[in-house]
């Protein structure tokens, strides 16, 4: 079935995820889900295979509202992709029968 064609960073932006600065002994360091994706080298395929509980642990989405919004948008995108896939599959079967 594949993965949705929407970029993971776009999903994070839609959910309201933002980068923050954390002060370390070397100075300010940008932290947040965008930086975690770069740091951990999370591909689009790996992002779309994340489970709901992994957003907080892997991507460090701590804010409750943002996390719920991210889960809602993430699931909606996956469901939409699955519906489109099934629709295309039905159309392919219909064309092959004729």
Give, for all 98 residues of the chain, the pLDDT tens digit.
678 888 999 999 999 988 887 777 777 777 889 998 999 999 999 999 988 888 888 888 888 999 999 999 999 999 999 999 898 888 888 777 65
pLDDT at 23: 77
pLDDT at 22: 77
8-state DSSP, 44: H
pLDDT at 43: 92
Q: Which of 51, 10, 54 is nearest to 34 (CA)?
A: 10
8: Cβ–Cβ under 8 A, 6 or more apart, which residues? 37, 42, 44, 47, 48
Whole-number Cα distances in Å, 93 to 16, 42, 60, 82, 89: 40, 35, 43, 16, 6
pLDDT at 11: 92
């Amino acid at each position: 079935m594949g993965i949705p064609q929407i970029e993971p960073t776009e999903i994070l932006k839609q959910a309201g995820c933002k980068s923050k600065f954390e002060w370390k002994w070397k100075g300010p360091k940008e932290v947040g889900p965008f930086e975690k994706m770069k740091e951990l080298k999370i591909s689009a395929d790996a992002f779309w295979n994340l489970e709901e509980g992994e957003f907080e642990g892997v991507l460090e989405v701590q804010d409750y509202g943002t996390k719920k919004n991210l889960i809602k948008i993430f699931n909606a995108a996956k469901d939409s992709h699955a519906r489109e896939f099934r629709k295309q599959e039905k159309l392919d079967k219909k064309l092959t029968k004729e």
